[in-house]
Amino acid sequence: MNWRVATFNANSIRSRLDLILGRLEKHRPNVLCVQETKVRDSEFPREAFAGTGFEVVFHGQKSYNGVALITRSRPEDVIVSFGDEGAEGEARMIMATVDGVKILNTYVPQGRDPDSEHFEAKIAFFHRIKEFLSENHDPAAPLIWAGDLNVAPEPEDVYDPKRMEGHVCFHPREREALAEIKEWGLIDVFRLHNKEAKQYTFWDYRLPKALERNLGWRLDHILATRPLADASRGAWIDFEARALPKPSDHTFLVADFEL
């Protein structure tokens, strides 16, 4: 069967609810990974998904961060915060099994400035992901890591690589940290099917006419273990959604597999 995964940084699920519901209807993904829901679990708009044919599980906090999985099949084995649900901290990770596939959805810290403690926390988060995968999962099994990873991996993934080199989200330490996780056994599904430069998932609100001038970054990713990468049939960026009313600064990344 054709099996579709998408990821989207909503920058507030309540502000982007109509956009999400419209894209669910248009694309009919089996799994949509959402980041930056920015809402406590008690206030998550669960009722909006009633009658849509989609299930929803989430892990959030007030005003910041927050992740959710919206799925056509019931998600199983749901964990948050790397299985340490009782730990205090930011809501940046949720994982579940959907149709026999492990789905890891993360919102990686942005990092703010390479000389800051926030950047060190970002690097530590990447190390935590690598440790989590190495200790608990097998790269020979079907697994997807998706989300806003806040890293443009290669020069073609940012609109001005010479000027951005060393800046947050295009810093050598971040790129190296992401590459080390990929070495565990993950393949960039978008790049497997799309080799062209200037294909982005994020355009900064603060940059004048960023979308029209295509001054973007490829910060959102769908990475898959070899069994799923071999079963992938395509991947694409939903540019149209970024130009709709009340958009996020990110747009949807979509990948198709034959299961």
Q: What residues contact 9, with CB distance under 8 A and at least 6 apart?
A: 34, 35, 36, 107, 147, 148, 202, 220, 248, 249, 250
> Among 77, 84, 138, 148, which one carries the catalytic annotation?
148
| Catalytic status, residue 205 | no
Q: Which two tokens stand for residue 189?
A: 């599904």
Distance CA 187, CA 169 (A): 19
Report CA 108 to chain centroid distance, whole Å. Answer: 9
> Among 18, 64, 84, 107, which one carries the catalytic annotation?
107
Give the torsion sign (CA, 172, 177, 180, 181): negative
| Catalytic status, residue 64 | no
Q: Are 99 and 29 in contact (CB under 8 A)?
A: no
Distances (CA, A) of 77 to 20, 74, 115: 24, 10, 38
**Closest C-alpha among 137, 12, 116 to residue 64:** 12
H or E, element range at 70: strand 67-71
Written as one letter, the residue type at 103 is I
Q: Are 49 and 13 in contact (CB under 8 A)?
A: no
Catalytic center residues: 107, 148
